[in-house]
Amino acid sequence: MIFIETKTLNLCTPSKTNLQQWTNWINNPSVRNTIRNLTTPTTFDMQWNWIQSELNSNRILLEICDKLTNEFLGVVSLSTINYQRRSAQIATLSPITKKVKNRYCVYEARRAIVEYALNQLSINKIYGAMIYPDNESFMVNNMCIGFEIEGIKHDDIWNNNKPKMSVCYFVTKAIYEKKGITEKDLEKLLARENRNNNKKKLNDIISSLYVNINNS
C-alpha cells in the first residue's frame, strides 16, 4: 500500500513481501556496525512483531520501493513523534548496492518524509544521529538536503571495545523553507561542489567541538 509517492519512489506500508530481506539486512555485520541498537539476532517472526509494535506506538515506518520495478530499496521512518514539542526523529536503512538510477533513493525518501512531517503533521523539528566518521559521506549528503549539525556526542557508543562518536543533526521548518529544498533538483543538491562545501563545513564543526584527549 502506497503511503507517500515521489518522482521515482513509492514509500509503502510494511508487508511480509519484503520482510525476509529486511530481516537479512539487520542481521548483517556491516549494518550492525553502523546502527547502534542492532546487537542481537533477529528472526523473521521477531522482526514482524517488532514492526507491528512500532506502528502501534505511533511510529511511521515505510518501505522504500522503486516506482517502476517495485524493487525493495530500504526503509525510512519517523519515530519519537511528539506533537506537543512538534518534533520527530528520522532514520533510514538501505544497505543495498546502489545502481545509477537509484543512487539517491535514500535522500529522495528522506526529503519526502521530512516534507510530510512538516506539512501534514505540523512537525517543526526533525532530528537524528549517526556514527562518525563511519557515516561521514552519509552525513554530508544529509547536509546537502537541508540538515544542520546540532552537536556531537563523545564516546557515544562502543564497538570492538573502542568508543565511537555520534553526530547529531536536525532541520526545522524555517531552515528547510529558507534553503528552498523542495523546489531544488535532488541531483543538483547532491552535486560534487555542494558536497565538497558541506564536507568542509562538517569537518570545521567537528574540529571546533571535538575534545582530543591524545594531545597534552
Residue 215 confidence (pLDDT)? 62
52: CATH: 3.40.630.30
Residue-wise pLDDT for 151-176, tens only, equals 999 999 888 888 989 999 999 999 99
- Give the domain extent around 176: 2-209
- pTM for this entry: 0.94
pLDDT for residue 78: 98
Question: Is 214 within a domain?
Answer: no
Q: Is residue 216 part of a domain?
A: no
Q: Is residue 96 part of a domain?
A: yes
Residue 119 forms part of a structural domain? yes
Average the pLDDT over 2-31 and give the result. 94
Q: Is residue 100 part of a domain?
A: yes
Where residue 101 falls among pLDDT bands split at 50, 70, 90? Answer: confident
DSSP assignment of the chain = -EEEE-SSEEEE---GGGHHHHHHHHH-HHHHTT-TT--S---HHHHHHHHHHHHHTT-EEEEEEETTT--EEEEEEEEEEETTTTEEEEEEE--SPPPGGGTTHHHHHHHHHHHHHHHTS---EEEEEEEETTTHHHHHHHHHTT-EEEEEEEEEEEETTEEEEEEEEEEEHHHHHHHTTTTS-HHHHTSHHHHHHHHHHHHHHHHHH---TT--
- Please indicate, yes or no, if residue 72 is contained in any of the structural domains: yes
The reported pLDDT for the residue numbered 10 is 98
What's the domain count of the chain? 1
